[in-house]
Amino acid sequence: MFKAIDIWKRIDDVTAIRYRCFQRVIDGQFCVQSADYYHLPVNENQVRTLDRQFLELFIEESPDQRSSLHRTLEEAIAQYELEFADDIATLTLA
């Protein structure tokens, strides 16, 4: 079992990232399943699509198999950012 946790990060006046994290109930460890990027103006279709993708990813593969586990949310997010640094840079500049 997992507890879903959303962590938000403001990039600038028009961009935000929502990290889709999970905490594994059995031992309290954390992982990041994905990160959603939002730009103003917010597109409602994009929001629905990202929510659907979040659910599909969870159903398709256990979050602790998709991503490494960490003792804290901060460590999990830092590792995610390290692994996907090029993607994050590209998306935040879009």
Query: pLDDT: is 16 or 91 the higher one?
Result: 16
Q: What is the pLDDT of residue 41?
A: 96
Q: pLDDT class for 54, splitting at 50, 70, 90? A: very high
* Domain total of the chain: 1
Q: Where in the sequence is the domain holding 15, given as residue range(s)?
A: 2-93
Structure pTM? 0.87
CA distances from 32 to 66, 71, 85 (A): 9, 12, 14
Q: Over pLDDT 90: what percentage of the chain? A: 87
Q: What is the pLDDT of residue 86?
A: 65
Instruction: Give me the sheet containing 15-24, strands edge to edge.
Output: 2-10, 15-24, 30-39
